[in-house]
Amino acid sequence: MRYTKFFTALFILALLVNTAAAHELTIKAAKYSNIPAGEKFNAEVQSAHRFIVPEEVEILSRVKAGIIQDGKLIESELRANEKGLCIDFTVTPPEGTFILAAIKDGESWCVTNEGGKSGSRTELEAQGLKVISANKYDKYAKAIFNASHDDKTFAQVLNHPLEIIPVTNPADVKSGEYFHVKIMLNGQPYTGPVWASYDGFVTEYENTYAYYTEAENGEAHIKITHSGWWGVRASQGGLPGKSGDYDSVNLRAFLLFEVK
């Protein structure tokens, strides 16, 4: 009985720590439209459980961020902002709609008999720890700026392992209407949970979103209920891991855009 209780407690601990470790990666800026071409533009990479309230500065060596040009990420120099709990970066926008993206190559995060630990399964077991689970969290965020009615840049595909691709032009959607997206997982249509919210909906509670739906065969439909900076989120866990390092990979994706 004591062993059953012990392993039940470890299982619950694994769930709690995995949830705590899984901050969402997002992008935020001071403005989202009417951004002049050719002028320096500042943005932030945020990591948090609350949309969109920064909680921690990600490890710079594991993050890439910048502007998308010809379907590729042009990396910016990243600056840790400890006071703002975010990563700052600067881009030079082109004329019209443009996309900023951020990618985190996640480290192995293990749930052990001594709590959550960073490191591979092999490394931590060599230290005498009992590793209950080992997971890797890879995160992808992309944000659309200067959306306009006659510019199709908003629908550009970046070929992230998990990617939310807008079908509706953000410049066309209004509160009370549906925003349609396509979601792809490793090149195949994604079926699973989708969350969405807008800046300011909830700032007090973690993992609280304004809207929930489920994607079917790669299609999801989000009811827009408010103007402002929106985010659509999807995630997929349980993907194959790397022997001795992590048991599985968890992919997380965010699409961010403005509703006027």
Q: What is the pTM of this model?
A: 0.89
Which pLDDT belongs to residue 12?
43
Which pLDDT belongs to residue 107?
86
Which pLDDT belongs to residue 187?
96
Mean pLDDT of successive 10-residue stretches along the chain, which has 260 residues: 44 43 89 97 97 95 97 97 98 97 93 92 94 95 97 96 98 97 98 98 95 98 98 96 93 98
Which pLDDT belongs to residue 22?
74
Within 10 Å of residue 188's Cβ, how many Cβ atoms?
Answer: 9
Q: Give the whole-angstrom CA distance, residue 231 versus residue 236.
A: 17
Burial of 10 (0-12, 13-18, 19+ CB in 10 A): middle
Which pLDDT belongs to residue 19?
43
Please list, in sequence order, all residues whose beta carbon lies within 8 angstroms of the beta carbon of residue 104, skipping any fewer than 6 positions away: 25, 58, 62, 63, 137, 138, 139, 140
Which pLDDT belongs to residue 7?
42
Delimit the domains of the chain by residue range.
Answer: 2-259
